[in-house]
């Protein structure tokens, strides 16, 4: 069942006249080997409750020690997204009671976070390129993980995740549709992957999204009561859930009702959003500065070093690729999808000896990358792919034979490219005697077309070339066929 089918309002009916306002909070697990405040491993998938110690179990008297690498990755993410990283920030206790929180509080940051004031430009379906504000990025620790389906009638808790380092990326309510929310998440994930601060795996819980949504009459600037949706396990489901919740709120207002601030959960199987509890206000958490940790002080030289180590990010790379290789913005987007693909493309341009960026792009994206099982992993060492390209450039195989040859090379990684091409019958016939023979046959078989061609009907020359190629089963070198046919027509005329 599609979202549109169950949500007629979303298809433009009742939604017309209303504007959707979305702000996202994204929790991202940092790529560290150890936890935020202790030396326990962060490895995913270890047996439950094996990576634990007094600190991450919240035992009395255990003291937290911040993980420098986590702070470095957090600062890197902040710089990459254009935030100001503050030389001094404060850890705070966020107090609440839940079985996955053994201390009764989470160490987070509140009034003085690590970084504030960033932005991310995204391409939207309806509004072109739009800059989405990023309010803040702060550092915090993860809670443990509850399992409600492992032990009948009971909840099981795995503390391996307790204390794992996270950043929370708080976005401004600048998104105007469920599709924009998805575009933002896609762009954000790409930047975080380029920065190598997280593996951003939603399946493993290293990227989690909470979505705040409200609606208002179109043209109004007010911010109405919002609801927060949790339990969103894919970007597609973020988009779906926001569509359901937007339609629910519009319908409620149209009935003359009001929206109550709530936390909702999304049931992807049933395709519905339902309330789980009334939404907490920040004062419910009784934040106060963490007494076990001093302020987080970052020296100017350290911050400058983190900043200087940033890689070229997707937007800059796309622009450079457009300028350097003369690619369209779409084509540049394809070969900068990941930093690894972009690096492979740049090597390939050199190795292939392509005469221009567009030619290299065609070979790389259409012929090589299209053979990748996941669309990301280059299926063949670039040096080997370049061998096949050189056969095209030398006129030994037809341009159209490149992709099937590369496919064969993926299956036979150590075989010689020319030998494989020979075996597949791709090596072009450049024996002029053989080609002359086909030309004579074609001239004999199509007297009418030959006469008209000799009288100047130029388009028939193409027809006759096609006939010769057909007789050669596509293996004749088209340049030689042209020459031989011209000679043959002249000789008989």
Binding site for Zn ion (CB under 5 A): 38, 40, 53, 55-56
- Please state the closest distance from residue 136 (CB atom) to Mn ion, in A: 11
Task: Specify whether the CB–CB gap between 53 and 41 falls below 8 A.
Answer: no
* SS3 state of residue 100: coil
Task: Specify whether the CB–CB gap between 145 and 200 falls below 8 A.
Answer: no
- Please state the closest distance from residue 115 (CB atom) to Mn ion, in A: 15
- Tokens 């979505």 locate to 211
- Which of residues 20 and 108 has its CB atom nearest to Zn ion in the complex? 108
Site string for Mn ion, 155-174 (x = CB under 5 A): -------------x------
Q: Which of residues 243-302 bind Mn ion (CB under 5 A)?
A: none
Task: Indicate which of Mn ion, Zn ion, none lies near residue 141 (CB less than 5 to 8 Å, by partner kind).
Answer: none
- Please state the closest distance from residue 292 (CB atom) to Zn ion, in A: 14
- Which of residues 46 and 284 has its CB atom nearest to Mn ion in the complex? 284
- Please state the closest distance from residue 23 (CB atom) to Mn ion, in A: 14
Is residue 450 exposed (0-12), middle (13-18) or buried (19+ Cβ within 10 Å)?
buried
- Please state the closest distance from residue 168 (CB atom) to Mn ion, in A: 4
Q: Which of residues 191-250 bind Mn ion (CB under 5 A)?
A: none
Query: In this structure, what are the phi and psi dihedrals at residue 133, rounded to the nearest 5 degrees?
Result: -75, 145
- Which of residues 105 and 321 has its CB atom nearest to Zn ion in the complex? 105
- Please state the closest distance from residue 41 (CB atom) to Zn ion, in A: 9
Task: Indicate which of Mn ion, Zn ion, none lies near residue 53 (CB less than 5 to 8 Å, by partner kind).
Answer: Zn ion
DSSP for 115-178 reads: EEEEEEEEEETTTEEEEEEEEEEEEEE---EEESSSSTTS-EEEGGGTT-EEEEEEEPS-B-SH
- CA–CA distance, 118 with 169 (Å, rounded to integer): 10
* SS3 state of residue 167: strand
- Which of residues 53 and 483 has its CB atom nearest to Zn ion in the complex? 53
Site string for Mn ion, 119-158 (x = CB under 5 A): ----------------------------------------
Task: Indicate which of Mn ion, Zn ion, none lies near residue 207 (CB less than 5 to 8 Å, by partner kind).
Answer: none
What is the distance of C-alpha 294 from the center of its chain? 37
Task: Indicate which of Mn ion, Zn ion, none lies near residue 168 (CB less than 5 to 8 Å, by partner kind).
Answer: Mn ion
- Which of residues 38 and 167 has its CB atom nearest to Zn ion in the complex? 38
- Please state the closest distance from residue 27 (CB atom) to Mn ion, in A: 6
- Which of residues 53 and 315 has its CB atom nearest to Zn ion in the complex? 53
Q: CB neighbours of 151 closer than 8 A, spacing ≥ 6?
A: none
Task: Indicate which of Mn ion, Zn ion, none lies near residue 40 (CB less than 5 to 8 Å, by partner kind).
Answer: Zn ion
- Please state the closest distance from residue 36 (CB atom) to Zn ion, in A: 9
Task: Specify whether the CB–CB gap between 114 and 86 falls below 8 A.
Answer: yes
Cα angle value 99/286/265 (rounded, 5°): 50
Task: Specify whether the CB–CB gap between 425 and 466 falls below 8 A.
Answer: no
Cα angle value 477/478/484 (rounded, 5°): 95
* DSSP label at residue 161: G
Query: In this structure, what are the phi and psi dihedrals at residue 154, rounded to the nearest 5 degrees?
Result: -135, 160
Q: Which residues bind Mn ion (CB under 5 A)?
A: 168
């Amino acid at each position: 069942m599609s979202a549109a089918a169950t949500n007629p309002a979303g298809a433009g009916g009742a939604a017309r006249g209303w504007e959707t306002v979305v702000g996202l909070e994204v929790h991202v697990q940092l790529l560290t080997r150890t936890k935020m405040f202790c030396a326990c491993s962060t490895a995913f998938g270890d047996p439950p409750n094996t990576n634990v110690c007094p600190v991450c179990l919240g035992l009395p008297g255990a003291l937290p020690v911040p993980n420098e690498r986590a702070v470095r990755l957090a600062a890197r993410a902040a710089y990459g997204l254009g935030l100001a990283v503050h030389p001094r920030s404060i850890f705070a206790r966020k107090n609440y009671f839940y079985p996955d929180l053994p201390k009764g509080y989470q160490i987070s940051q509140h009034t003085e976070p690590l970084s504030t004031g960033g932005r991310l430009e995204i391409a939207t379906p309806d509004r072109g390129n739009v800059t989405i504000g990023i309010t803040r990025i702060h550092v915090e620790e993860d809670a443990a993980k509850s399992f409600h389906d492992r032990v009948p009638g009971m909840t099981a808790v795995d503390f391996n995740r307790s204390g794992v380092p996270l950043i929370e990326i708080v976005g401004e309510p600048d998104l105007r549709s469920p599709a924009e929310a998805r575009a933002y998440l896609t762009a954000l994930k790409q930047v975080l992957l380029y920065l190598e601060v997280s593996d951003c795996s939603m399946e493993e819980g290293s990227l989690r999204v909470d979505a705040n949504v409200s609606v208002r009459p179109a043209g109004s600037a007010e911010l109405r009561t919002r609801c927060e949706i949790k339990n969103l396990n894919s970007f597609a489901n973020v988009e779906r859930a926001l569509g359901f919740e937007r339609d629910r709120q519009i319908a409620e207002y149209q009935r003359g009702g009001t929206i109550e601030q709530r936390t909702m959960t999304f049931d992807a199987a049933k395709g519905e959003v339902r309330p789980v509890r009334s939404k907490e206000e920040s004062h419910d958490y009784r934040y106060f500065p963490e007494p076990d940790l001093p302020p987080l002080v970052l020296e100017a030289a350290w911050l400058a070093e983190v900043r200087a180590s940033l890689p070229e990010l997707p937007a800059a790379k796309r622009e450079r690729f457009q300028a350097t290789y003369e690619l369209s913005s779409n084509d540049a987007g394809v070969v900068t999808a990941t930093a690894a693909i972009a690096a492979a493309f740049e090597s390939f341009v050199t190795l292939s000896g392509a005469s221009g960026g567009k030619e290299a792009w065609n070979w790389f994206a259409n012929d090589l990358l299209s053979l990748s099982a996941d669309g990301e992993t280059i299926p063949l060492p670039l040096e080997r792919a370049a061998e096949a390209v050189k056969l095209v450039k030398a006129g030994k195989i037809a341009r159209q034979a490149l992709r099937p040859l590369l496919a064969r090379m993926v299956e036979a990684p150590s075989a010689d490219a020319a030998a494989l091409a020979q075996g597949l019958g791709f090596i072009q016939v450049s024996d002029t005697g053989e080609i002359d023979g086909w030309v004579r046959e074609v001239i004999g078989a199509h007297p009418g077309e030959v006469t008209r061609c000799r009288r100047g009907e130029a388009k028939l020359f193409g027809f006759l070339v096609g006939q010769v190629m057909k007789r050669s089963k596509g293996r004749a070198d088209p340049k030689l066929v042209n020459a031989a046919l011209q000679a043959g027509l002249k000789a008989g005329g």
